[in-house]
Amino acid sequence: MSKSTSNTTGLHADSLLAHAGGGFDPTTGAVVPPIQTATTFVRDEDYELVNPGYIYSRDSNALYQKTERLIAALEEGEDSRLFSSGMAAVAAVARSVRPGGTLLAQSGIYWGTTLFLRKHCARNNIALVEADASDLDAFHDEMSVTRPDLVWLEVPSNPFLKIADIQKISELCRQSGARLAVDATAATPLILKPLALGADLVMHSATKALNGHSDLLGGVVTTADASTDTWTFICEERQNAGAVLGSFETWLLLRGLRTLSLRVERMNKNAMALAEYLEAHSKIDAVLYPGLASHAQHELAKAQMTGGFGSLMSVLVKGGKADALKVAGALDVFQRATSLGGTESLVEHRFTIEGEGSGIPENLLRLSLGIEHCGDLIADFDQALAAI
């Protein structure tokens, strides 16, 4: 098991990212790392590995390791593992809970995570409890009763943009012996560092802002302590189950990471400006965005998040389903698609995706802000809202 370390170069994260975490390729001097396409590695006449540590590319891949070291440094963690998708990363963490155990998950989070956890736990004799993590007292009570093995948070939550107090929940986890995992996909490591707040594991769908170009599927998990049994299990799960990212996809991810700081800066600026504009609009009932003073956990968000509040928000259009769909259909700059964190701004009618019984308001539109000119995004919403 290779072990990554936190950033010891003294470089700011922006510079570390710009150089892809390590400058030029020492073999050729190329400023862009090569794509390692080999799946297996030779041994010499004495059957010794020509390059110790490189046996088979399911786990032995220099490009994986370079990208994992960079992400671990961004997270201020000890080690990272890339996965073939965000859900593969979620699955590896969830499987660390043994049959007969208990998993306490934040309610109202990404529907794909909730659906997987429900089915996985039901099939494996794992008790799944769902609770609102933004209500700290109620969540504490739930922890006291259920005594979970693993607590799963999503900060900010998708699509309701709720903020859980990671530091206080991590203290509760330590008192009860639970492990704490945080999905921080909507924030990125440049805005939120759950490990520094006491989490044991942090997960991202690398499909989203880490890559930022909507052209790969990927996931990553980072640990605060690489010596734990949980981390050993997750590493073995990745290697043995084969949920690995392809070499080309890893190269695309590393390329995307080079511009992460610039993209996050613009996306955050756009999100804040649009949130303020829409909050004052007569045809919007509410804007769910932690950067607004009206957000229920705004002060907590300011304490936990640095450099912005993320590029994801939800808005409640005045009226019902038909009005929300009319606004979505009238948008020109915003593309109607399901994802977040890309260079392009997206709008999604979340109720259409999740359907009846999901708890999603029919008038909710989820927005992912891209890097376009802010004036164009505001003008686009202005003309779309005129349609209702």
User: In this structure, what DSSP letter does residue 49 have?
Assistant: B
Average pLDDT over residues 148-157: 98
The answer to whether residues 137 and 77 belong to one domain is yes
User: Are 201 and 84 spatial neighbours (Cβ–Cβ below 8 Å)?
Assistant: no
Least reliable range by pLDDT among 57-71, 165-179, 276-290, 316-330: 57-71
What is the rounded CA–CA span in Å between residue 296 and residue 303? Answer: 14
What is the rounded CA–CA span in Å between residue 193 and residue 166? Answer: 10
User: Are 371 and 263 spatial neighbours (Cβ–Cβ below 8 Å)?
Assistant: yes
The residue among 200, 235, 257 that closes a domain is 257
The answer to whether residues 296 and 228 belong to one domain is no
User: DSSP of 354-381, one letter per residue?
Assistant: H-TTS---TTEEEEE--SS-HHHHHHHH
The residue among 204, 225, 257 that closes a domain is 257
Predicted confidence (pLDDT) per residue in 47-103, tens digit: 999 998 899 988 889 999 999 999 999 999 999 999 999 999 999 999 999 999 999
The answer to whether residues 277 and 219 belong to one domain is no
CA 332 to chain CA centroid, nearest Å: 27
The answer to whether residues 167 and 43 belong to one domain is yes
Contacts of 197 (CB under 8 A, 6+ apart): 166, 167, 170, 304
User: Are 210 and 260 spatial neighbours (Cβ–Cβ below 8 Å)?
Assistant: yes
In a domain, 2, yes or no: no
Integer Rg of the chain from CA: 21
pLDDT confidence of residue 358: 82
CATH of residue 41's domain is 3.40.640.10
The answer to whether residues 372 and 334 belong to one domain is yes
- Please name the residue ranges forming H helices in the chain: 13-18, 62-75, 86-94, 111-123, 136-146, 166-176, 229-241, 247-257, 260-279, 298-304, 321-330, 350-354, 374-385
Q: Is the pLDDT of residue 7 over 70?
A: no
User: Are 177 and 171 spatial neighbours (Cβ–Cβ below 8 Å)?
Assistant: no
Q: Categorize the per-residue pLDDT at 10 as very low, low, confident or very high, splitting at 50, 70 and 90.
A: confident
Average pLDDT over residues 221-250: 96
The answer to whether residues 276 and 265 belong to one domain is yes
CATH of residue 378's domain is 3.90.1150.10
User: Are 350 and 159 spatial neighbours (Cβ–Cβ below 8 Å)?
Assistant: yes
CA distances from 206 to 214, 277, 282 (A): 10, 30, 36
Predicted confidence (pLDDT) per residue in 315-367, tens digit: 999 999 999 999 999 999 999 999 999 999 999 999 998 888 789 999 999 99
Range of the domain at 104: 13-257
Active site residues: 58, 110, 183, 208
Least reliable range by pLDDT among 9-18, 140-149, 215-224: 9-18
Average pLDDT over residues 23-52: 88
> What are the backbone angles phi and psi of residue 306, rounded to the nearest 5°?
-125, 140
What tokens were used for 354?
């999740």
pLDDT confidence of residue 163: 98
Q: Categorize the per-residue pLDDT at 168 as very low, low, confident or very high, splitting at 50, 70 and 90.
A: very high
Strand 102-106, strand 150-154: pairing: parallel
| Residue 313, strand partner residues | 367
Q: Is the pLDDT of residue 3 over 60?
A: no
Q: Categorize the per-residue pLDDT at 252 as very low, low, confident or very high, splitting at 50, 70 and 90.
A: very high
* Percent of the chain topping pLDDT 70: 98
- Of 310, 367, 362, 315, give the one whose Cα is nearest residue 338: 367
Average pLDDT over residues 11-26: 87
The answer to whether residues 239 and 277 belong to one domain is no
pLDDT confidence of residue 306: 94
For residue 159, whether the previous peptide bond is cis, meaning omega lies within 30 degrees of 0, is yes
CA distances from 311 to 174, 188, 288, 334 (A): 31, 10, 12, 14
SS3 83: strand
The residue among 230, 257, 284 that closes a domain is 257
The answer to whether residues 269 and 164 belong to one domain is no
Average pLDDT over residues 23-34: 82
* Percent of the chain topping pLDDT 90: 87
Average pLDDT over residues 193-200: 98
The answer to whether residues 239 and 291 belong to one domain is no
Average pLDDT over residues 224-229: 98
Average pLDDT, the chain: 95
- pTM listed for this prediction: 0.94
